[in-house]
Structure 1
Amino acid sequence: MKIGMVFPAVEYGGQEKNLVLLSNELYKKNYDLEILSYGNKNFTTANINPNIKRINLELNSIKFVIINLIITLITSGMLKIYLKSSLKMVGYLISNKYNTLICFQAGGLISFLKILTMSKTKIITRESTSPISMTRIQKSAFFYSLRINLKKFFYNLSDLIIANSKGSKNEINNILNKDKAIQINNICDFSNTQIISATKFDPIFKSPTKKIITVGRLNATKRVDILLKATKKILDTHNVDLIIVGEGPEKLKLKKLAKDLTISERVHFIGFSDETHNWIANSDLYVSASIVEGSPNSIIESVCLGTPVVAADCNFGPKEILDNGKIGILVPINNTSKMIKSINNILDNEKLRKELSKLSKKQKSNYSADKISELYIREISKLNEIN
């Protein structure tokens, strides 16, 4: 059985990390698989087993010059990459090169191409966020309705949809009015990872301040501005540093806000890091103010590493990961005052911090690479039993 892991527009983050971790585990279990992506951009959040073959979906053949030029002229960003990748994917689908394609991106497009080519390849679309919450960001009722209907159309074309949260799974099944989506957790497994002690890892940890950390792409939906405003108030009563790990379009704006709040010296923009586990493990508290999530890796990693969590109660991941607030603190979204109160509460209560840390670590087995890969294997096998 041959498996293709589809990730055209390689970008660092949770999807990339999960693709690499799942690929490595499936390869370890002797599955024949390849990773398909556009261009030769390296994966950076985790190391791919060097024996796993990567397929470049970039097609520079003279026969496709005009098509490539048209795509370049009329599209941009990820859509451009998806469409250019599809030229090569058509050939793979026609030849049925893969028994199963697991699409971490562009699942709808690949499913559509499968129908056009009448391929026998099974298509699994992986959904990593709340489809309705992301669509609601659209301010226009027309575009909201359009996107929901497009999602419904493309979801129907996939053989299976795997969501990484129960809430997202339920949303998808409600959109489709049938049970086509299932839920499988992200992988988070530090069983073979050595955590570097705080003072040896980074000079930031040499100061006696409490370390508050957040990790993720710096875009508007992450609401890192709330964390900056909260830090300003928390500094009135606590000696803290805010560590921000990640890159994104809001970075300069957030740096300016930190300066305007006169807290620049207490806010550390780390940028991208492939050692998020060390940053999180050595911090006193993980915080998230995100208004839209699927099942955020950074919160899962915090739970597995035993770092207490305060998170905005957005749909759906944080609530599920934190067991409805039993192993972490949930606050209403877009609520700076509740965020401040909850952070202060944990900083003031060492007993609570230790209790949350203890409860969190008990959840590690839910995210083990062995367990999650077996769930994928089961679903792949079931699909390929169907002729």
Structure 2
Amino acid sequence: MIVMKLVFITPGMTFGGAERVISILSNIWCDMGHDVSIFITSSDKPSAYRLNEKVKVEYYDDYRVDGVSHFKLISSIRDFVDKENSDCVLSFMNDVCAYTILSLTGKNIPIIYSERNDPNKTNQSKVDKIFRKIVEFGASHIVFQTEGAKQCYSKKVQRKSSIILNPVELSRIPERKKEDINYSEIVTVARLEPQKNQELLIDAFNIVSNKHKDVVLKIFGEGSLKKKLQNRIDELGLKDKVYLMGTKSDVLNWIKESYCFVLTSDFEGLPNSLIEAMCMGIPCISTDCSPGGARQLLSDDRGLIVPCGDKERLAEAINIYLENKDIAAQYGQAAYGLRKEIDCNKVAKEWLKLMEKIVRGEN
């Protein structure tokens, strides 16, 4: 094993899928003897996730990137990478990776970009498209979560790419006991933003509740659509059946006894909340969100997939679970099998194997 000095360049370490992955990988790599540093470009807030005390964290001192400070950010990234004597630099965000590539021009330091979402639905402004071109040309390697996301890029980019699933710390996934399951509770966990389309779930639940009077829906998350979603709940007369629960630091303990989990995103990378629900053995339903991460996870009869935006089909899927407990249990048991594929130690080693090849110049 090569002992490496690894650097993450990231906008922040607040709650989010990419941030969680960074924290998990950093902690494991430090425990394995590697030197890991995180440079935060756009926030002064501490990490929302536990970090190994050996992980070094430094903040860009002027994170308001406006006209005149782009060059300062580029210079600061270069200085940090030089100071850490980095063997490999990783970035999970399009714009930050572009700045990183510009900052390390002329240096023989591998840069790995990880695509976290649907490339055809995000980063669509003119500036973002310029950043993407910089990333496509300048990144040493690109890691995708799904084959669908990989196919959004050129053949040239695909030749310098890999697919690696999100890591999950199975030790923090609570045990789900059959005797504690609340067969009248449906849950979802996601930011309250247009991409996640919780309004679709509320509308589908309205159909379900006409038939199953005792079922409740709990929506975990915060975001810009909170007021709009509450208004929709009130309009449909569901205020005693649909609850906006906010963000919970121990959300897995809140949902472990739920009967089923539903994801209604219009587009998504590889959804952590869906992965965690599956790892608890909760029967899951998801929209067929691009670029195919949910379909990939729920393949092989590990859950139900419905078309995006179709409230009737979503209601039908929920009713299948509510009216067929044996079928739901079979899907939940199959979903539980995902654990062996996404164990954090396995995934961390996949990343290390890739980086060792790249550092050796074998990419």
In the superposition, the TM-score normalised over structure 2's length comes to 0.89
Q: Quote the RMSD (CA, aligned, Å).
A: 2.7
Answer yes or no: is the 8 Å Cα contact 1:221–1:291 preserved in 2: yes
Task: Name 1:252's counterpart in structure 2.
Answer: 227
Moved over 6 A (4+): 196-200
- Aligned equivalents of 1:108 and 1:122: distance in 2? 13
What is the distance in 2 between the residues matched to 1:317 and 1:193?
21
1:216 equivalent to 2:190? Answer: yes
Does the aligned pair in 1 maintain the 2:173–2:280 contact within 8 Å?
Answer: no
Task: Say if 1:264 and 1:197 are closer, same or farther in 2 by CA, change over 3 A.
Answer: farther
The 1:350–1:197 alpha-carbon spacing in structure 2 relative to 1, beyond 3 Å, is closer
Note if contact 1:196-1:278 (Cα within 8 Å) is conserved in structure 2.
no
Change (3 A) 1:257 1:16: same
CA contact (8 A) 1:94 1:119 kept: no
Identity level (%): 22
Distance of 1:173 and 1:366 partners within structure 2: 28
State the one-letter code of the partner of 2:163. Answer: Q
The CA distance in 2 between the partners of 1:26 and 1:17, in whole Å, is 14
Find the partner of 1:119 among 86, 107, 127.
Answer: 107
Residue 386 of structure 1 aligns to which amino acid in structure 2? G
Match of 2:286 among 311, 324, 348: 311
- 2:40·2:60 contact (CA, 8 Å) conserved in 1? yes
Counterpart Cα distance in 2 of 1:10 and 1:250? 23
TM value normalised by structure 1: 0.84
41, 65, 83: which one aligns with 2:45: 41
251-260 or 335-344, larger mean C-alpha shift: 251-260
User: How big is the shift at 1:195?
Assistant: 4.4
Unmatched tracts of structure 1, length 5 or more: 60-67
Selected match of 1:108 from 98, 121, 125: 98
Structure 1 equivalent of residue 10 of structure 2: 7
Question: Where in structure 2 are the equivalents of 1:38-187 lying within 5 Å?
Answer: 38=41, 39-44=43-48, 46-59=49-62, 71-72=65-66, 74=67, 85-93=73-81, 97-105=85-93, 106-115=96-105, 118-134=106-122, 148=129, 150-174=131-155, 176=156, 178-187=158-167
Amino acid at match of 2:284: V
The question of 1:226 aligning with 2:200 is answered yes
Q: Distance in 2 between matches of 1:366 and 1:173?
A: 28
- Count of residue pairs brought into register by the alignment: 354
- What is the CA–CA distance in structure 2 between the aligned matches of 1:281 and 1:162, rounded to whole Å? 31
2:174 and 2:335 mapped to 1: Cα distance? 19
Aligned-residue offset at 1:40: 3.7
Gaps of 5+ in 2: none
Q: Distance in 2 between matches of 1:361 and 1:334?
A: 27
Conserved in 1, the CA contact under 8 Å of 2:174 and 2:252?
no
1:63 is matched with which residue?
A: none
Q: Deviations over 1:189-247 (max 9, x none)?
A: 323554487999xxxx9xx6611111111111111000111111111111211111111
